[in-house]
Amino acid sequence: MISLDQLSFAYGARRVLDRLSFDLHPGEILGLLGPNGAGKSTLMALLTGLLDPLEGRVRVAGGDPRQPQTRRHLGLAPQELGLYEELSARENLLFFGRLQGLWGEGLRRRTEDLLAETGLLERASERVGTFSGGMKRRLNLAVALVHEPDFLLLDEATVGVDPQSRMALFELVERQRLAGRGVLYATHHMEEAQRLCDRVAVMDGGRLLALDTVPALLERHGGASRLEVVRQGVSQAVETRDALGELARLQALAPLDSFTLRPPDLEQVFLHLTGHGLRD
């Protein structure tokens, strides 16, 4: 388990994380949802022992991540990719695998498996610099997985990828949950958090505003669904918590030409919690 207890951090006088507390369990995908500057990357740096907490503490599998051996439980896919572009995909995997203490046939087999799993086998010997954004992101994830860590830290894992590659990445991440890995998924795309995550931690300004399952967050902070109906060429919109009942009521009044139902989403949750949108 990854455990955060009253974790705070500041760059000089500017506090960027303020008393964060939550746990990440094995087999769970926990989304960190927040705009740029919310403190997600700083949290990742604290989780990997790169920074020292100002207050509070972090525990990874019971250990301090500032201790090298504790970091063996972690697989990091940083936002900046963190790949050697002059090396091939296979060479990158072998290199980072060796740093994790893997050697010989086991490492070679693991490398080939990951290349196959991420769809990079055909171009495994080519320089990473020649890869598309989506391929680099897949390799980024593969490198994080090379030593089969207990927890996966994904920082904006889908930046700069096309929709097809994004779907492939989602499938890869979901497979990690099935494999029993805990995944911390930092993103500012609410669609991704909603699609992938078992629980979502909503962050803004370094503070944890809410943490729950997506349905619970929607229920508590999402507000009403938006129902738009068109009748005899005239459109009408209503906010309702009982969309089906409202639809039946409107249909009973007069036949509808069409209708659109927009259920509450995490964007609305974020708006409700912070007073501003995710992309403000």
For other proteins, the binding residues (CB under 8 A) are: 45, 48-51, 68-72, 74, 76, 78-85, 96, 99-101, 143, 153
C-beta of 44 vs 211, nearer to other proteins:
44
Smallest gap from Cβ 215 to other proteins, in A, equals: 33
Max Cα-Cα span within the chain: 74
Strands 2-11 and 14-24: antiparallel
Smallest gap from Cβ 147 to other proteins, in A, equals: 9
C-beta of 50 vs 237, nearer to other proteins:
50
Q: DSSP string covering 216-230, please?
A: HHHHHHS--EEEEEE
What's the CA gap between 56 and 20, in Å, rounded?
8
C-beta of 96 vs 131, nearer to other proteins:
96
Smallest gap from Cβ 50 to other proteins, in A, equals: 5
Find out whether 19 and 174 touch, Cβ atoms under 8 Å. Answer: no
What's the CA gap between 90 and 113, in Å, rounded?
11
C-beta of 83 vs 114, nearer to other proteins:
83
C-beta of 51 vs 172, nearer to other proteins:
51
C-beta of 78 vs 182, nearer to other proteins:
78
Helix H, strand E, coil C: the string for 234-262 is EEEEEEECCHHHHHHHHHHHCCCCEEEEE
Tell me the H-state helices in the chain: 40-47, 89-99, 104-117, 133-145, 163-178, 190-196, 214-221, 243-253, 266-274
Least Cα distance to 24 among 41, 7, 1 occurs for 1
Smallest gap from Cβ 231 to other proteins, in A, equals: 50
C-beta of 97 vs 264, nearer to other proteins:
97
Structural tokens at position 60: 């990874």
Smallest gap from Cβ 69 to other proteins, in A, equals: 6
Smallest gap from Cβ 8 to other proteins, in A, equals: 16
Smallest gap from Cβ 32 to other proteins, in A, equals: 17
The neighbour count for residue 177, using CB atoms within 10 Å, is 18
